Amino acid sequence: MFGRKRLINVGLFVGIVGLIILFPARVGYQWFVPPQVVMSGISGTIWSGQAREATIDGFYLRDLSWRFQPRHLFTARLGFAIESKFASGFAEGDIALGIGSVRARNLRALIPLNAIQVAAMAGARGSLSAEIAELQISDGLPVVADGSLEVAGLVLPLVHREPIGGFKAEMITGDSGISASIEDTAAVIDLAGSLQLSADGAYEFYAQIGAVENTPTQIREQLRFLGSANDRGQHEMRLEGRL
């Protein structure tokens, strides 16, 4: 009798473990994944799976794969090591999902700008490369950002129909929020600026912008709307508001 009961218990245990190990990703997505993550074409398990398409807080990914990281459960988050491949880029890093929040660490990416919802809405084109030590988005707002972003071949239809060059931002998080220094990299304008973003979404952007030898006439005309230039030919630009 003891032997039979023992075999039944072992069988139940093996069955439960098997269900956990093979827990379908499609079911886990419906039960556990927060609403800021939308996926389609899901296969595999919650521990190791794939999705044909995914959007995470406005970031669009294709051919996404993940591996579950159980250590994040101690912080009430679902953690995954992710990889995503594009025809013209990639993204990889560690993602932790909480209620209303997304945290990324060791994030490396090279993606088209139109994969970012905000940029796509503005009609922006180009490529974005990222080296992010940590990024945290809470209730749709970035509250932590440490690392660098660089845009190449930027096209902004409201500014000019042709590429205007590249720009780089170095970000760091402090007591007053996220600070970023911004500069041009081989662009058709000379730009040096700074951005301050507080945890409540209030932002202040300041930049000095000037024409260079190859600045298109259309952009030179637009610079005049920023007011008089200083003795170095630079115009001041200030923007503030709330995300």
- Per-state percent for the chain, helix, strand, coil, to nearest 5: 20, 55, 20
Structure tokens at 9: 């218990």
> What pTM was computed for the model?
0.78
Long-range contacts of 39-43 (CB under 8 A, 24+ apart): 39/64
Q: What is the DSSP letter of 161?
A: S
| Distance, CA of 231 to CA of 199 (rounded, Å) | 36
Q: pLDDT by residue for the chain (243 residues), tens digit each?
A: 445 544 444 444 434 433 444 455 665 666 666 777 888 888 888 778 888 988 877 778 889 998 888 776 666 677 889 999 876 789 999 988 887 788 899 999 999 888 887 788 888 899 999 999 999 998 888 999 999 999 999 999 888 889 999 999 999 999 999 999 999 998 999 999 999 999 889 999 999 999 999 999 999 999 988 888 898 889 999 999 998
Q: How far is CA 63 from CA 188, 208, 221, in A?
A: 35, 40, 43
